[in-house]
Amino acid sequence: MSNPLRRPMIAGNWKMYHDLAASVTLAKALAAGTPENGPEVVIATPATALTVVAAAIKGSKVKLAAQNCHWEKEGAFTGEVSASQIKDAGCSAVVLGHSERRQYFGETDETVKKKLTSALAAGLLPIVCVGETLAEREDNRTFKVLDTQLTGALSGFGPSQLASVVVAYEPVWAIGTGKTATPAQAQEAHLYIRKTCARLHGEAFAAGLRILYGGSVKPDNIDALMSEPDLDGALVGGASLKADSFLRIINFKAPARA
């Protein structure tokens, strides 16, 4: 029986796609199509679209996230936005440590932790991404990588400070490649993440922690993924860019959770 704290979440990562007009059109379609009693729905738009999308989803069940933030509240950090600024723009959540940020923009476990601290201080729900590369998986280092990334981001806090945190397991080899982890592979990693979080912050924290799967989630694989007991939702890239595919993912069919 899953923990009642673990309400499923479906989050869309729009990455660097869509102009303002397309963002508003998509956001309005999602706001209109998101069911009252379904999963928690979050969309992470480009920073430029945050305020217009916030207005487009106002009064709906859809929540807004940024894809990144800086760890300082303000200062001489050209090109960056702070946690309090994205909150001010209408966000209630933020994605941290996405593998594309780790790969292309020098994100490290240390910077993820600093950003997590500032996101929590701003009252944002952080979605912390972890996951191994193909080389790491083939070298049997998946669990070691997850351990290092989780410990790096989540240690040094008390479990109550981390109550809002959501972890996204995103195997790098499955992101944007069309290769999805099998439900069994995802479940194995999610269970390991939960056990690692139990070691870090206790059984009660781990039992209530929501762990999303990300990596080529599509309308035709979401139901099987969501049937696994330790999958509490999905972080969706490509398939979140169109209303019909994202709404089908939001309306996933899986065994009822207690």
Q: Would you tell me which residues interact with ligand PEP (CB under 6 A)?
A: 13, 15, 170, 175-176, 214-217, 235-239
Minimum distance from residue 220 beta carbon to ligand PEP (Å): 13
Complex with ligand PEP: residue 62 or 225, whichever CB lies closer:
225
Please state, in angstroms and rounded to a whole number, the distance separating the CA atoms of residues 126 and 137: 26
- Residue 87 CA to residue 203 CA, distance in Å, equals 31
In whole angstroms, the minimum distance from the beta carbon of 76 to ligand PEP comes to 30
| Identity of the residue numbered 21 | A
**Nearest approach, Cβ of residue 131 and ligand PEP (Å):** 9
Helix (H, G, I), strand (E, B) or coil at 80: coil
Task: Give the residues across from 95 on adjacent strands.
Answer: 127
Helix/strand number for the chain, H first, E second: 11, 8
170 is annotated as an active-site residue: yes
Q: Where are the beta strands (DSSP E) in 5-115?
A: 9-13, 40-44, 62-66, 93-96
The set of residues, in sequence order, having a beta carbon less than 8 Å from that of 75 and lying 6+ positions away, is: none
Catalytic residue among 170, 190, 201, 228: 170
Nearest residue (CB) to ligand PEP, 102 versus 201: 102
Q: Residue 53 or 235: which CB sits closer to ligand PEP?
A: 235
Is 74 labeled as catalytic in the residue annotation?
no
Distance CA 140, CA 206 (A): 24
For the bound state, the minimum distance from the C-beta of residue 73 to ligand PEP, rounded and expressed in Å, comes to: 27
Answer for the pair 166, 9: CB distance below 8 angstroms, yes or no.
Answer: yes
213 in Cβ contact with 190 (< 8 Å): yes
Catalytically annotated residue among 18, 70, 98, 190: 98
210-214 and 166-169 strand pairing: parallel
Distance between CA atoms of residues 107 and 82, nearest Å: 15
15 touches 254 (CB < 8 A): no
CB nearer to ligand PEP: pick between 8 and 238: 238
Q: How far is the CB of 178 from ligand PEP (least distance, A)?
A: 8
Nearer to ligand PEP among residue 68 and residue 216 (C-beta): 216
Q: Please list the active-site residues.
A: 98, 170
